[in-house]
Amino acid sequence: MFARKRYCSQVDKEYKGVKVVHIPSINTKHLDAITYTFFATIVALVRGYDVFWYHALGPAVTMPLVKLFRKKIISTVHGLDWKRDKFGKLASAVLKYGEKCIAKCADRIITLQRYDQQYFKEKWGRETDLIPNGVRAAELRAADLITSKYGISKGEYFLFMSRIVPEKGLHTLIEAYNKLDTNKKLVIAGKGVHTSDYEKRIRQLSSGNKNIIFTGMVDGEIKSELYSNAYAYILPSTIEGQSIGLLEAMSYGLPCIVSDIPENADVVNKNAGFIFRSGDVNSLVNVLMRVDKNSDEVLEIGNHAQALVNRKYDLDNTIKETAMIIQEVLVR
């Protein structure tokens, strides 16, 4: 397994029996992922690995090099990244080239949702294996650390937990929350990635509201406590892959308020979440008002969400189906 050293809180050479190789990269918005992937690909070719497994469109631009060495390639498409707001014309063109490399070079393509599966069929004539993301069953925790650190208790806050980047739609959420008459706070857990201007905008939108709490990036017990004790989870994204955060929130029995983009709406279905029009502040306000005032409905929707994610997005099933594809590629 390859990892970018600066993303790691500690540098381990092995994790649960898997060897970890730390690879350098050029730390800029546009060069970080691609340089890391290029260096990792060279190392993997030198070491003579049999199967190369690429995630997302950007790293796939190195696939033609791998194909020259007659290696087997698996690609997992997490979404059509060239649609994301943070990428300019050049970066979007590179991502579209990565998409083409996947269609032309990958021996097997894994898509996480029907939307991308249909896209690759219509655009490139490629069949894909539909394997959604998966999560473990949640371990509920009482509000302890979050009460002492942030002054919040069970059921007292809405939760946004994601990267602070434009396509996650946090600006829409804050504008809607500022119009809401509620006693519940808004907790924003996450940090930006090469998006300092956007983070500044978010801080400005929040500056007049003392009930908006920024925690920064969280993990471990605090992350679990935030999920366990939130009133509802909100994902207002305009572009998405298949959000692990959304699946995690559902596993905790949280009612989830999501934008109506297919990647979100397909996950929560009609009875396991609340849906608003993407980018529409007033639509989100109306949904927040409904959720805020109807605790019985919120509990019912949360139970549906938990049952759905346990049935359809179980991590063990995801691992099993992915392992089968790897085995099939190896023996081909």
pLDDT tens for 94-120 read 889 999 999 999 999 999 998 899 999
Angle, helix 281-293 to helix 295-312, in steps of 10 degrees: 100
Say which range, 11-20, 73-82, 175-184, 210-219, has the weakest mean pLDDT. 11-20
> Mean pLDDT score of the chain, rounded to an integer?
92
CATH code assigned at 214 = 3.40.50.2000
Picking from 327, 324, 233, the residue whose alpha carbon sits closest to that of residue 287 is 233
Structure confidence at residue 81 (pLDDT):
75
Q: State mean pLDDT over 258-267.
A: 94
65 in the same domain as 123: yes
Query: Do 37 and 103 belong to one domain?
Result: yes
Which value, in Å, is the radius of gyration of the alpha carbons in the chain?
21
In a domain, 139, yes or no: no
Q: Note the pTM of the prediction, 2 decimals.
A: 0.88
Domain annotation covers residue 140: no
Task: Between 121 and 85, name the one with better pLDDT.
Answer: 121
27 and 48 belong to one structural domain: yes
> Does the structure show a pLDDT above 80 at 83?
no
- Of residues 129 and 33, more confidence is placed in 129
Query: Do 267 and 162 belong together in one domain?
Result: yes
Residue in 75, 77, 76 with CA at minimum distance from that of residue 66:
75
Confirm if 25 and 33 have CB atoms less than 8 A apart: yes
The per-residue pLDDT for 7 is 67
- Domain span including residue 234: 145-312
**Secondary structure, 3-state, 13-46:** CEECCEECEEECCCCCCCCHHHHHHHHHHHHHHH
Residue, of 106 and 59, whose pLDDT is higher: 106
Check whether 45 has a pLDDT greater than 90: yes
6: pLDDT strictly greater than 90: no
In the chain, the number of structural domains is 2
The pLDDT, as a whole number, for residue 85 is: 59
Give the model's confidence band at 9: pLDDT under 50 very low, under 70 low, under 90 confident, else very high. Answer: low
